[in-house]
Structures are given as structure tokens and as C-alpha cells.
Structure 1
Amino acid sequence: MKAATWLLLLLAHISIAVAQKNKPVYLFSYFKGNGEDGLHLAYSTDGFKWQALKNDSSFLTPTAGKDKLMRDPCIIRGADGRFHMVWTVSWNERTIGYASSKDLINWSEQQAIPVMEHEPASLNCWAPEIFYDAGTKQYMIYWATTIPGRFPQGDSAGDNKYNHRMYYVTTKDFKTFSKAAILYDQGFNVIDATIQKNGKDFVMFLKDETRYPPQKNLRIATSKNCTNGYSAPSAPITGNYWAEGPTVLKQGSQWIVYFDKYTRHQYGAITSTDLVNWTDVSEKLEMPKGIRHGTVVEITGKELKKLLSN
């Protein structure tokens, strides 16, 4: 074999090895049951086949809040390189849970952040998420809360006493927080929002929680600012079933939205390249049994290796 040919083959093998080493790894944080046992994690290299880690046992037992639940865990990688997580601590408390970690295994002391304590009539703080705004160099934590009578429009259209709107606070250090303010109110019951950056725009995927007449579907709103100015919702992007808990992964030009088809006790996924036309790809999904509402974050192969050895 000529030296030049041998060199080309060697370079090709090195290139393949580097590509495999640098291949993205995706991590899905979720809960099971009522969230009483804490944080569950699964991983995937293609975004469709997900494998539970640690034999699908909990990575973190909840201690924050009175009810000590860990529902709807949302994890992002912060500007400081740490993983930051928020979650629902209870069905009926006015706080949300927070903790951070360098490696997704060893976590800081859990906090119960009293984001709605200044609103004594508020019933809940559900499905919180975090977004880091590079423009303002601060984190936004947002969630759904019902305050009876605050928004008469939609009061009779929800489930029982609930008529949610999206609220938010901002922080730079997870020690001091702005006062909670309205993030999204378009005159209907809204919950389970998740925000993604798309060029210069911010895209909010949300659940229309209207019960009468039933909607229970996912929609999209957009804004030029992450904390305000979101548009009226799009037409539903999910089908003729009840959907909740969207989380989003961007692979190249393709958007993948994962969500819980909760009345069918199964997970679903839809894809799009333009955020307008959507294709249902639920049949491609392989998810851990009993998985509930969670979020996706990209991690490194090195981080996955440590999780696998835990």
C-alpha cells in the first residue's frame, strides 16, 4: 500500500473516531408516579430511542417544600457551566424547587423558592422551567399559577377551580429574584410553557388547558423579547388527543417536540423544519416505562460515561 493511501485511510479512521466521540448525547429528565421518589434520567444519541439510567431509579430524592415532590423537572446548562434544575414541589404550594449540579449526580442543597408567596390567594406553582437569556445575562424561571378571580375570562372553562396564566421571575445568582410578573395571558387557560431561541426570536410552546369546550392541545407563540410581547397562539400543532408537557430538541434544521399523550398513557413526538408544518413521528419513540413530563438537555459523552458508571 502506498504511503499516501495509508495516510488517507488513517486520517479517515481518525475523523470517524473524532466524529463518534463528539456525537451529541441527549438527556431526558423526568418523573414517575406522583414525583415522590425524585429525579429520573434517560439518554439518547438519536433523539428517538431513550434508555433509562441507573435502572430507572432516582438520582435525587426531593426535600424541598412541604409535600416534598419532584414533578416536572426542568434542567438546563447555565452560562456558568453548571446544570440548573427547577421542579414542581407540590400540587398546592406557592413555591418551586431549585438545585444545581456540576455532574448531574451530586446536587446542591435543594431550595424552595417562594415565587408566589406575595399572592396569598394563589393556588399553585406548576411545571416551572428555566431559560437563560444571553442578551441580559440572566435566568428567567417561569411557571403556571391560578389566582381565583384574577382573570374572569376563562374561569368557567377550566378544570375545577383552575384557570392558569404563565408567570416569571428573573435572577442572576438564584439567590435574589425579581417580583413575579405575568409572562403570558391571551385570555385563556394556559400551562406547560417551554421557550426556545430561534434566531432573533423567542418561541414559546404552550398548552391550551381549556376544558370547556375541550382544547388540551399544544400551540406556539412568538416574541422579540423573552419576558414579554408574545403573540396570540397558533393553531394546534398536536392532533386529536390530549397533550401536555412539551419539551423541545433542535437537531440541525429540525425541531422535535416531545409531549405526554397523558390520557393514552404514552409519549408522542412531532417534527418540523419551519414551525408551521408538523409531522407526527410518535411511532419512532422508545421511552422508559411510566415516564412523565420532563425536559431535554444536551450533554457530553464524558458526562454520559460518568452517569452510566453511577
Structure 2
Amino acid sequence: MKRRFSFFLLLFCFACMHVSIAQDSVYLFAYFNNNGKDGLHLAYSEDGYTYKAIKNDKSLLRPVLSKDSLMRDPCIIQGIDGRFHMVWTVSWNDRGIGYASSSDLIHWSEQQYIPVMAHEDSALNCWAPEITYDAKKQQYIIYWATTIPGRFAAGSQSGDGRYNHRMYYVSTKDFRSFSQAQLLYDYDFSVIDASIFLVGKRYAMLLKDETKTPPQKNLRITFSKHAHKGFSKPSAPITGKYWAEGPTVARVGEQWVVYFDKYTSHTYGAVASKDLIQWEDISDKVHFPKGIRHGTVLRISRATLLPLLAL
């Protein structure tokens, strides 16, 4: 009984924190430019459609991890502890990811390398990590895409060269100790760029079908009762006849808006839905800083934004 009470109390506090932020908040977009060498970039939006670069689109944090020293695909969430937690891709071919935290998005902790796939000697990469908080289990899950050659037959002949990705995850309560990596999603095709979010009492996961032959390169959505397992067969593509990657989602009014990188045309796009079933392309309605690459969105308080605008 005490454990159940503690869970609902935690869930209530988590909900209250996010309600208070939503009442006086803006959208914040974390992204990288070019190849990710110069680090973290941020932009903000009042309405969820037009994003303006912070600090004149200069880096707010430069990467120092791995021989490549990259900070690609940054994902930031505000945790139950009130701190901002960020993960990112550190290299094209390392078996770990980057992590840092901040109280204000300006001053960051020492960058930490998390060797999430070090136990897999043949793993080729750890790409596009993201974080989701699982209130039911009172823990965070960090998930990313990795190729382990020969591990999965399906998709091995239809991807990009030697890459045949699947989604993996670890869990943590404190970002100091982590569980052993486990498979998160495999539906017989190369999958990458997952993004998990809570919808009512279930979780939705956006993902990219990375199949190149015959070409897919589109975004889909799948659902589960759990944040770390049980995700269903993916939907039909929710994006159009263009190549899309790096989905991230925000609640804008009555709609879910999924932003994504139209990477072959060097632009950003978006689709919107009220029910996560029927989707409308609204790419002509969104505006981002020039040169923006794969990023993630969250809501922050206006009090947190103001010091960022003074940089």
C-alpha cells in the first residue's frame, strides 16, 4: 500500500510540475548544425510554429567526448528532479553516448560518456539517443539505435550498406548507474530515431523506417502500455513522399505536432494530428533557424527562457 501511495504521489508531483510549466511556458528546440562539431544549439517558440535561434545561433555547449568530439542529435528533458538532462550522439562509430545535466540550460555538468553497448564487441554505433521518464517505474529510459552485424537477418539486405539498426535501451534512476542494455524494438526492418511520449495511459513511439531498398525513409508511429517494451506493429507512414528523420513531438493547442528533418532537401517539416491516426502535412506552417539539423522539443518556463535570451 505504501509503495502504491508513493507511486501516485510521485506521479501527481510530476504532473503538477509540468502543468505549472505549461501555464506559462514556451517551446524549446535543441539541435545541432553542420556535422555537430560545435555542439548544442537552442531555439524557442511562443506558438509552436515559428522558432527563433538563441544566442544568435551560436553553440551553448561544446562537445569533448570521444575521438570525434561530436554533439549530434541532442535530446533534453526536464526530469522529476527539476534538472535538465541531455543525451547525444558522440561519434559515428563509438559504442556509447554522451550525457550532461543543467539547472538552467546555460551551465552544464561535466560531460559523461555512457558505454551503453560496450559489452557488444561488434556493435557499430550508438545513434540518436533520447530520454523518456517512466513514472510507473520511477525511472528514466535512455534509448538509441545500434547495428550489430549478423544479429538480425531481416533488413540486412535493404538498409544502407552494412547498417541494419534496432532500438535498444537502458534504465536509470540517477544517471550514475545504468541497467544492462536490452532490445527495445524490432519489427523486421532497420529502425532508427525513436521518440517515446505519454498519451493518456499509454505510450506512443515515433520511429524512422530506415529501409533503403525498396525505399521507405519515412516516419511511423506505434503504441504500448509500457515505456520500455510491448510496442505494436508500426502504422503506415505518417510522412509523405520525401525522406524524413529525427521526429520529435509537441502538444500545440488541440494537436500533436511532429517536427522532423527533411534531410535530403535541407529543410525542416512537420505533420499534425488530433488523434495520432489521421495526419496533415503542415510543413509550410513551421519556421526554423537556417541550417537546423536533427533536434528535440520540450516546454520550459518563461523564467528559464529569460536568462537564455540575455546571452
Instruction: Please say whether Structure 1 and Structure 2 have the same fold, judged by a TM-score greater than 0.5.
Output: yes
Partner of 1:39: 40
Partner of 1:97: 98
| Matched-pair contact (CA < 8 Å) for 1:65–1:95 | no
SS at match of 2:304: helix
Partner of 1:198: 199
> Which residue identity does 2:303 align to in structure 1?
K
SS at match of 2:175: coil
Note the C-alpha offset of 1:252: 4.1
| Matched-pair contact (CA < 8 Å) for 1:22–1:301 | no
Deviations 1:90-122 (A, max 9, x none): 000001000000000000000010000000100
Deviations 1:121-174 (A, max 9, x none): 000000000001111110000000000000011101100100000000000011
| Matched-pair contact (CA < 8 Å) for 1:246–1:257 | yes
Note the C-alpha offset of 1:250: 1.2
Note the C-alpha offset of 1:65: 1.9
5 Å-filtered alignment, 1:225-304, equals 225-304=226-305
Partner of 1:13: none
2:175 pairs with 1:174: yes
SS at match of 1:307: helix
Deviations 1:180-226 (A, max 9, x none): 00000011000000001011110000000000000000001100111
Deviations 1:256-288 (A, max 9, x none): 000011111100011000111111111111110
Note the C-alpha offset of 1:295: 0.3
| Structure-2 separation of matches of 1:165 and 1:28 | 26
> Which residue identity does 1:25 align to in structure 2?
V
SS at match of 2:67: coil
Partner of 2:14: none
SS at match of 1:283: helix
Note the C-alpha offset of 1:38: 0.2
| Matched-pair contact (CA < 8 Å) for 1:75–1:84 | yes
> Which residue identity does 2:278 align to in structure 1?
N
| Structure-2 separation of matches of 1:174 and 1:184 | 22
> Which residue identity does 1:222 align to in structure 2?
F
Partner of 1:106: 107
5 Å-filtered alignment, 1:47-126, equals 47-126=48-127
Deviations 1:226-259 (A, max 9, x none): 1100001100000000000000001343100000
SS at match of 2:88: strand
| Structure-2 separation of matches of 1:305 and 1:252 | 23
| Structure-1 separation of matches of 2:107 and 2:96 | 23
Partner of 2:149: 148
Note the C-alpha offset of 1:296: 0.4
CA RMSD, aligned part only? Answer: 1.2
SS at match of 1:269: strand
| Structure-1 separation of matches of 2:67 and 2:134 | 31
TM-score under structure 2 normalisation?
A: 0.92
Partner of 2:208: 207
| Matched-pair contact (CA < 8 Å) for 2:47–2:252 | no
TM-score under structure 1 normalisation?
A: 0.92
| Structure-2 separation of matches of 1:110 and 1:262 | 28
| Structure-1 separation of matches of 2:248 and 2:51 | 14
| Structure-1 separation of matches of 2:294 and 2:308 | 21
Unaligned stretches of 5+ residues in structure 2: 1-21
Larger Cα-atom Rg: 1
| Structure-1 separation of matches of 2:284 and 2:172 | 40
Task: Give percent identity, aligned residues only.
Answer: 66
Q: How many residues align?
A: 291
| Matched-pair contact (CA < 8 Å) for 2:261–2:293 | yes
> Which residue identity does 1:138 align to in structure 2?
Q
Note the C-alpha offset of 1:23: 3.8
SS at match of 2:87: strand
Unaligned stretches of 5+ residues in structure 1: 1-20
| Structure-2 separation of matches of 1:209 and 1:115 | 22
| Structure-2 separation of matches of 1:60 and 1:24 | 23
| Structure-2 separation of matches of 1:307 and 1:61 | 16
| Matched-pair contact (CA < 8 Å) for 2:246–2:295 | yes
> Which residue identity does 1:260 align to in structure 2?
D
SS at match of 1:131: strand
| Structure-2 separation of matches of 1:64 and 1:80 | 25
